[in-house]
Structure 1
Amino acid sequence: MSILRAEGLTKHFRGLKAVDDVSFEVEEGSILGIIGPNGAGKTTLFNLIAGAITPDSGRTFLEGVDVSGRPPHAIAQAGMARTFQLMRPFYSMSVLDNVTIGVLASRDGHRTPRDHAAEIIETVGLGPWRDSATEGLPTAALKRLELARAMAVKPKVLLLDEVLAGLVPAERTPVMELLERLRTDEGITLVFVEHIMAAVMRLSDSVLVLNLGRVLTAGAPDVVTKDPRVIEAYLGEEPTRADS
């Protein structure tokens, strides 16, 4: 069953088509990876889906409901949250307070906001920093805090914008393991933009490739990454072929 569907999303900026007639579907409980060279329109697409900007045309459906044009807080309340490549915590507050603020927007009535926030912090592996000031946290901890803040609204769909960016290889594997647990244990559908192809290959059930604002191709990771058009878009040249 499709939980997220985009139909013909298009956005112009002063004549430039940042996103040009993009359509795709995400099955409930799956992981979709979105890749493409710099300037392909990946973050703009996220902004359209999450309500940060309004499409010039096209629609977004969450669980069959048209959420196009709704503000970000309304889309979050409907069940879709996002993280940002540039992390935006409240640096003057503790980790626990940062997550508690998010929980306050979606209380379930069974736990206090701080108790719920503490559970999320443990889930994402931030327990040692729970009461620490956010300012001064290492990048890996800040990335997990972004995840925790997004999870505070109890999303059914989580949009991840380069969640591995800035992490050294040894820090990436634990985060990928965490994302896999969010899918299997929490039942969250994941859509992520990423440049690290090892993560795309490991995590994705399917991959959507953007180039110059349009969908270049889509399909299984092992098929998409061997597509000559994808190789050309990333490397800027035709792939070489061995002589027969």
Structure 2
Amino acid sequence: MSHLLQAQNVSVSFDGLHALSNVNLDIPPAKVSGLIGPNGAGKTTLVNVLTGFQAPTQGTVRHDGQDVSGMPAHKLRRLGVARTFQGGRLFKELSVLDNLEVTGVGLGLSRRAAAARAVEMLDWVGITPLMQLTAGSLPYTDERRVGIARALMLEPKFLLLDEPAAGMSAHEADELSELIGRIVAEIGCGVLLIEHNIGLVLKTCAHIHVLDSGEMIDEGDPAHIKSSEKVLHAYMGTQADIEGDVEAAL
């Protein structure tokens, strides 16, 4: 199938330990999909595989029907596969504007065109007041917003958001949900939301995948996930805050 970003029977092993085992996942265009699972489930490893930061041990990654397994991250980014990171990974010494401009230049724009596009994107995301601030001085939640703006440079086909709501208040998480909806509606981007905030995932995503111990144990719409015994069982016995989130959300 074309017009998808896909993991097909993807496995990843590190020194004999299986981080992922025969995982299948499709990210369709212009929809929000979710990926949840307990700590250590393999979510970030799967994101790394889909975005070229980790080659699969077995299996295939396809982009618009093309086998891109093991393709370097920078080449996948030029094909329209963008991501954010849990740790932000901004250029701390540069301004917010320069962080976006560097991305634009890396994607082939002239410096002038990249700067103009960066200004437009900061305005579109709603963080223009941060433009001249040094990235290293930003609060944690603002780092997340800048990371999303940077990932949206040149309007990618697919955007993978790795824990974008970490540290956000309930109000900030609601604003993030609205922004993700705009990304899909106005850019037409396919989004994969990877989150511990299960309530945000249930509210935002049309289809949700659930990983546990490196295996995809369930998937479906929010109503199915809420009633899934497999999902509830996967979270039981983890730390109290995660369990509390699941019980409240499910």
**Same fold by TM-score, threshold 0.5 exceeded?**
yes
TM norm structure 1: 0.93
Query: Residue 153 of structure 1: CA displacement?
Result: 4.3
Residue ranges of structure 1 left out of the alignment (5+ in a row): 238-244
Which range is displaced more, 77-86 or 144-153? 144-153
Give me the whole-angstrom Cα distance separating, in 2, the residues matched to 1:165 and 1:177: 16
Alignment partner of 1:195 is 2:196: yes
Q: Which amino acid aligns with 1:208?
A: H
Secondary structure of the 1:185 match is helix
Q: Which amino acid aligns with 1:94?
A: S
Residue ranges of structure 2 left out of the alignment (5+ in a row): 239-250
Secondary structure of the 1:146 match is helix
Give me the whole-angstrom Cα distance separating, in 2, the residues matched to 1:10 and 1:225: 27
Q: Which amino acid aligns with 2:81?
A: M
Alignment partner of 1:67 is 2:101: no
Show the counterpart of 2:225.
224
Is the CA contact 1:105–1:153 (under 8 Å) kept in the aligned structure 2? no
Alignment partner of 1:97 is 2:98: yes
Give me the whole-angstrom Cα distance separating, in 1, the residues matched to 2:117 and 2:68: 27
Q: How many residues align?
A: 236
Write out per-residue CA displacement over residues 28-79 of structure 1, whole angstroms, 9 at most, x where no aligned residue: 2111100011111000001111111111110111111111110000010111
Q: Aligned-residue CA RMSD in angstroms?
A: 1.5
Query: Residue 124 of structure 1: CA displacement?
Result: 1.3
Give me the whole-angstrom Cα distance separating, in 2, the residues matched to 1:194 and 1:122: 25
Give me the whole-angstrom Cα distance separating, in 2, the residues matched to 1:107 and 1:187: 21
Structure (1/2) with the larger helix percentage: 2
Query: Residue 134 of structure 1: CA displacement?
Result: 1.4
Show the counterpart of 1:146.
147
Show the counterpart of 1:50.
51
Secondary structure of the 1:135 match is helix
Write out per-residue CA displacement over residues 152-192 of structure 1, whole angstroms, 9 at most, x where no aligned residue: 24310001000001112121111111111001011111011
Which range is displaced more, 99-108 or 186-195? 99-108
Query: Residue 27 of structure 1: CA displacement?
Result: 2.0
Show the counterpart of 1:241.
none
Write out per-residue CA displacement over residues 91-114 of structure 1, whole angstroms, 9 at most, x where no aligned residue: 1111100100001122467x7111
Q: Which amino acid aligns with 2:209?
A: L
Q: Which amino acid aligns with 1:214?
A: E
Give me the whole-angstrom Cα distance separating, in 2, the residues matched to 1:146 and 1:108: 19
Query: Residue 151 of structure 1: CA displacement?
Result: 1.1
Kindly, what percent of the aligned residue pairs are identical? 34
Give me the whole-angstrom Cα distance separating, in 2, the residues matched to 1:95 and 1:39: 32
